[in-house]
Each structure stands twice: as structure tokens, then as C-alpha cells.
Chain A
Amino acid sequence: MTLLQVSDLVVEYRTRKGPFRAVRGVSFDLPAGETLALVGESGCGKSSLSRALMGLTPVASGSIVFDGRDITRMPEGQRRVLRRQMQMVFQDPFGSLNPRKTIGAILEAPLLAAGVRSRAERLSRVREMIERVRLPLTALDRYPHEFSGGQRQRISIARALILRPKLVVCDEPVSALDPSIQAQILNLLAEMKRELNLSYLFISHDMAVVRYFADRVMVMNAGQIVETASHDSSFWEQPSHPYSQTLLRAVPSLEDFRGRGDAGSSAG
């Protein structure tokens, strides 16, 4: 089943020099249960695309169909209901957590907004979720600044999942984390996906993480998807688009040092 279907999507911004087309006719399907990665460098349009999917920026043309419903130009009231099904996890968990609220209040807020009236039910769902992301119940009475970067990312994952969404857009969720913490968060995301039947749109610039974590990868350059490939395709050894080739060549690998020693081999 296709969970998300994007067709010929165009996003434009008005600038002093006239309209700037950030997303230039993007089409893709995200089947339920898949992790689909979107990779590309600064300014390629990947953030504009994810903002358009979340209804945070207007769409110039094209369509977005989510779970069988056209949401391209859905009014804000209906969007809000739908947003329970589509959540986001950001790169900087500190910037996205209100510093004045306890973790308990942060996790309870989406339930209140969704109209869960029973306080007992809200509390039990908050407790269940904090345990799922492997934080102790005592975390609920504390504030965001009392946690490390990795712990804050666990909290923002808990917040994104508490309404049981179908799709989670992960925007560089491990980019700001140390390697050991990165592994823990990727493992947590994989476990949550399995247990809660999630689908991920995984936005990243880290090709090594994407190779491990994505069922399929889309390479975006200058507002367009230039290549799409699955995890087990030959893309990783022999990408076909020139831009994908440049991108993959630039990524260092632990294998690289084996070929070193001869002069100039380090030049990418």
C-alpha cells in the first residue's frame, strides 16, 4: 500500500529577483513500512520538500496524497487532525523542546491537543512512551536542559510517536550526535519502526548512515530527484547520475586507507 504519493511537486519562493523554484517537479511513492531516504547538499531543496509535505510551506503545483487523501491544499483545521498521522523529528532536539516545560508536560501536550480527555489515559500513554524510548520515569519531572543531546533526541522521538503516527519525517535526526550516540538513536528508530509499524522519510546528508538505514534512497540536486535506488542495488558501487557519482566519491570510507600510500591517492 502506498502511504505517501507525491506527484510533480513544485515549491516556489518569491524573492527580490523574482520567483525562485526550490522544488522543481518532484514525484515519488513511499510504500507503507518503508524507510525512504532523501539525500542532497545544502540548498538542494530537501528542506523545502519536507516543509511542503508537512504543510508548512505552500505548494505551487503538483499534488501530495497521504493515506489515500489529497492533502495538497488542505485547510489548516483538517491539516491539524492529519498531522497526528504525520510527525517530524528534527536535527536539533534542544531547539525543538520548550525549555520551560517538564518532559512530562512536553509529552502530554500532543495528547491534549488531540482531545484525549482522560488524565489517567494521558499519563499512562506518556509513561508507556518514555519507557519505550528507554528513559526512566523520573525523567518526566525534569527539564530539557538536564539531558544530554542523545537523551533529548529520545525525548523528541517520544513526542513524535505519542500520537501513533503512520509517517515520521526525520530531518537529519543523528547529524548533531557523536558516533556512539548516533548508533543508539538509529537502533531506537529501527526498533520503533518495527514495533509501531512506522514509515520514515529520512532526510540526511550522511551517505554512510543512509546506506545502513534506508530501504531506498533518492538523491536530490537543484530541486530535482536525479536518482532513486534501493539498498541492495548497484547504486552504492556504481551510481548512474554524475551528481550521485560526485557525492559518493566525496564520502570517506574506512576502506580508503587500504589504497593509500601511493602519492596523490588521497585526492578525491
Chain B
Amino acid sequence: MSQQNATPVLEIRDLVVSIGEAEPLKGVQLSINPGEVHALVGESGSGKSMTALAAMRLLPKQAVIRSGQILFDGEDIVHLGAPQMRRLRGARMSMIFQEPMTSLNPVLTIGRQITETLQLHLGMNRREARARAIELLDLVGIADPGQRVDAFPHQLSGGMRQRVMIAMAVACRPRLLIADEPTTALDVTIQAQVLDLIAALQRELPMAVLLITHNIAVVGRWADRASVMYGGRVVESGPVGEVLTAPAHSYTRQLLAAVPDVKSSRFYRDGPLEEIAVPATGMPA
């Protein structure tokens, strides 16, 4: 659970990022406490993935941090050099993405990919690292981890690959795990299993999780706190119960009204969904 008085694991202050003429982040404020699952909600182009990439200092080359601070465990990492960032990433902060195949190396066994991280960051020898890799695969719920450790990514299902990604990401017991739409490409039953796994690991290890999603119902089930992004800014932030029941910002209110819910008996024959009034672009989106 969140500890309000502790130093946030990640605190982003007034972050402005530009790419050429565009300004995808216009002064982002975000604070993630130790041990909480913090959801970052927004639509394409709202800046949620850009915020995550900035936190990892993995912004595309053309992107420039104009102003602001990114404090990781109280230390500003905006001006940290590449070697120092490499030591942080994968060890104290790590990230998983929507499509695990793009982050897994197809020609290496999954065991090899996990042991690499362990050897690099924790200085384990090969035998220790392999034993730990098997433990990690077991931890993320992969059956027969002793056998599967020698499998290649293409031999696994989508859900299993996402589990392997999670095993790699938590291998060094990070303080912060950033999960960018980790289940968007998965079936709903697999989505629930993967998010349950992330929640369980968050309590067990423990770590903070920044869960990036466009699915507001996912926030309701799996997050403790939520921040809503719109137009390059965090427009509201708070405990999930508050954000979902008494949203302060009109965008959040409109989003909640626009989305069908599996437990709502709303029916298309009784009337249309409320549409979100987006700034005029001359054409409906």
C-alpha cells in the first residue's frame, strides 16, 4: 500500500518535452509512491508513453527535455550520463512493453536473456544466474521452468512471452516497474492472469508499478492510484476510488461516460453513448 510520507520512487516535476515544433509533454506532474500500482490513463497522443520513456531516459533522439525534473528515489536523473542510466535501467527501474516479441531476442533462449541481466547487474556467475532464472520463471507462473528455460521465444504463447518479459524485468528486484499497455494484445483471460501476476509480484518483492493503459476498467481492478493524461498534461491524479467515482476533470468524467462497462445494462437501443467533446479539428475523429 502507498506510504504518503515516504520519498516517492518517481517524481516528475513540470516536465516539458519537445520534438521539433511539437510539444508532446507540456509540464507533466507525476508522483509514484513506494509499493503502489499507479495507473497512467490516456488515449493515443495524450503523452502517457512519452512520459514513461522520459522516466527511463529512453526518449527518441529528436525529443528534447526543455525543462523540469525527473527524480528517481529523490535523485534528479535528467542530466545523468549514459553509463549511469544503463546501471539504473534493468536493475532499479525496468520496463515491459505491449508486444513482448519486439523486446525478446528471437535467437537466444529465454534463460540466456534472463541470465544476461543477472550477470551484468548482480555479478552472478553462470550457474547462479541459471538457477535464479529458473526460480524467476517459476515465480511468474511458467510450468516446467527447468525445461522452459532452454526454450526460444517463438516456442511460447503470447501470454507466456509476456510472463518471460516480466521475469526479465523483475530479475534484479527493481524499485519501479513500468508496464506500457502490457496486456493490450492479449485475450481477456490472459490479460487478467498477467495483471494479477504483476499485482502479486508488486506485493511480494515489493516494488512500485507504473501501469500505462487506455482501459479505464483495468485501472479499477488493478491500480491503487491513477493519473489521467490529456493533451500532454496530467489533468488529475488521486486514489482510484476518487478518480473513478468523483472525477475532478471534465475529460475524466467524459471518458467514464463514453466507455461501455460489462456490469452496466446500458443498451444501444436506449440511446447513444456520450461522446467526448474533443477540441475541434474540423472533422470528427
Interface residues of A (CB under 8 A from B): 35, 41-42, 134-136, 139, 148-151, 154, 178-184, 186-187, 190-191, 205-209, 211-213, 215, 231-232, 236, 246-258, 260, 266-268
The digit string for B263-277, where 1 denotes a CB below 8 A from any CB of A, is 111111100111110
Task: Tell whether, in the assembled complex, residue A254 and residue B187 are in contact, meaning their CB atoms are under 8 Å apart.
Answer: no
In the complex, what residues of B have CB within 8 A of residue A252's CB?
A: 192, 215, 217-218, 220-222, 262
A-B complex: 4 closest residue pairs judged by Cβ atoms? A212-B260, A180-B276, A250-B192, A178-B43
Enumerate chain B residues within 8 angstroms of A213, measured Cβ to Cβ.
260, 268
Q: With A150-B284, A183-B273, A253-B261 as known contacts, state yes or no: A246 contacts B189, CB within 8 Å.
A: yes
Picked from A134, A181, A247, the residue with its CB within 8 Å of the CB of B188 is A247
Is the beta-carbon distance between A183 and B275 smaller than 8 angstroms?
Answer: yes
Chain A positions within 8 Å of B258 at CB level = 179-180, 182-183
B284 touches A135 (CB 8 A): yes
A35–B267 Cα gap in the complex (Å)?
Answer: 12
Which residues of chain B are near A254, meaning CB under 8 Å?
216-217, 220, 244, 256, 261, 263
Chain B contact residues, CB within 8 Å of chain A: 43-44, 158, 187-193, 196, 199-200, 214-222, 240-241, 244, 254-256, 258-269, 272-276, 278, 282-285
A229 smallest CB distance to B (angstroms): 13
> Which chain A residues border B278 with CB–CB below 8 Å?
180
Please report the C-alpha to C-alpha distance between residue A52 and residue B260 in the assembled complex, in whole angstroms: 30
Identity of the chain A residue whose Cβ is nearest the Cβ of B218 in the assembled complex: A252
Q: A186 to chain B: which residues have CB within 8 Å? A: 260, 268, 272-273
A45 to B37, CA, bound (A): 36
**Knowing A208-B260, A250-B191, A250-B192 touch, does A179 contact B214 (C-beta < 8 A)?**
yes
Could you say which residues of chain B place their CB within 8 Å of the CB of A255?
220, 261, 263
Of all chain B residues, which has the CB nearest A246? Answer: B189
User: In the complex, A250 Cα to B195 Cα: how many Å?
Assistant: 10
A256 to chain B, nearest CB (A): 4
Q: Report A230 CB to chain B, min CB distance, Å.
A: 11
Q: Give 11 A-B pairs besides A213-B260, A236-B263 with Cβ atoms closer than 8 angstroms.
A: A136-B283, A151-B285, A179-B255, A182-B258, A205-B187, A208-B262, A236-B262, A236-B265, A252-B217, A254-B263, A255-B261
B220 touches A184 (CB 8 A): no
Which chain B residue has the least Cβ–Cβ distance from A266?
B199
Query: Closest A-chain residue to B224, C-beta based?
Result: A260
- Are A266 and B196 closer than 8 Å at their CB atoms? yes
Nearest A residue to B282, CB-CB: A136
Contact A208 B284 (CB under 8 A): no
Docked pose: A139 CA to B276 CA in angstroms: 23
B135 to nearest A CB, angstroms? 22
Residues of A within 8 A of B217 (CB): 208, 251-254, 256
Q: Which residues of B contact A206 (CB under 8 A)?
A: 188
CB distance from B1 to the nearest CB of A (A): 9
In the assembled complex, 17 residue pairs joining A and B whose CB atoms fall closer than 8 Å, in A order, are A179-B216, A181-B285, A182-B259, A183-B273, A186-B268, A187-B272, A187-B275, A191-B272, A208-B259, A208-B261, A211-B262, A212-B268, A246-B189, A250-B188, A252-B218, A253-B262, A260-B221
Distance (whole angstroms) from the CB of A47 to the closest CB of chain B: 13
A267 CB, min distance to chain B CBs, angstroms: 5
Q: In the assembled complex, which residues on chain B have CB atoms less than 8 Å from the CB atom of A150? A: 284-285
| Residues from chain B with Cβ under 8 Å of A246 in the complex | 189
| Nearest CB of chain B from residue A223's CB, rounded to whole Å | 16
Residue of B nearest to A189 (CB): B268
Contacting residues, chain A, for B188 (C-beta < 8 A): 41, 205-207, 247, 250-251
A212 touching B196, Cβ below 8 Å: no
Question: B206 CB to closest chain A CB, in angstroms?
Answer: 14
A187-B273 in contact given A209-B260, A251-B262, A254-B216 (Cβ < 8 Å) = yes
Of the candidates B259, B264, B266, the one whose C-beta lies within 8 Å of that of A179 is: B259
Of the candidates B192, B220, B254, the one whose C-beta lies within 8 Å of that of A257 is B220
Contacting residues, chain B, for A257 (C-beta < 8 A) = 219-221, 240-241, 244
Q: Which of B196, B216, B222, B258 has the most CB of A within 10 A?
A: B258
Query: Known interface pairs A179-B258, A208-B259, A266-B199. Does A250 touch B189 (Cβ–Cβ under 8 Å)?
Result: yes
Bound CA span A266–B273, Å = 28
Bound together, the chains give a CA A232 to CA B267 distance in angstroms of 9
